[in-house]
Amino acid sequence: MGSVAAIFAAIYIDQGTARRERKAKQSEARELREGRWKAVANCAAVLEEVGTSFDDCVFSSGEVHQLSEAHRFQIDGLIETMRRLSKRGTLDDPDLAAALTQAFVVLANTFDELCRMSVDSDVARDAFRSAALSRAKVIRGLLKAK
């Protein structure tokens, strides 16, 4: 009778351990998903920041403004992060996988476009701002799938 009780105790302990491990894995997966969604949101935030970066500029004759090195570095790093995340994908969350890929494509294309733009007038500033903010809005729209 003692050995039967020991077997039941071992099974009960094993089930408890398995349950704790399963909860830990679920928690880890949830944190990874949340982190990836935050990366998508960060893409939009960076584009919004860049889009408003020339709002206070006063243009002098012949003066040309371009995307700052700090913004170039920040966006370039974010593009690399999104590239890695979109390649990994997530089998258990197809909406997240699609959002990562779309955010990567939108961010990379917008970065190329903004780097080619020279802001030398109010009209050019408005075009720059519009390009960045409209793409940020597209990326924010991806967050609705969350």
Q: How far is CA 8 from CA 2, 4, 11, 19, in A?
A: 10, 6, 5, 16
89 — pLDDT class (breaks 50, 70, 90) = low
76 — pLDDT class (breaks 50, 70, 90) = very high
pTM of this prediction?
0.77
Q: Which helix (H) or strand (E) holds 19?
A: helix 2-51
CA distance 16 to 10: 10
pLDDT for res 91: 65
Q: What is the DSSP-derived secondary structure letter of residue 119?
A: B
CA distance 80 to 6: 54
CA distance 111 to 68: 12
pLDDT for res 8: 67
Q: What percent of the chain is predicted at pLDDT more than 90?
A: 36
- What are the boundaries of each domain within the chain? 31-145
Identify the weakest region by mean pLDDT among 9-23, 97-111, 129-143: 9-23
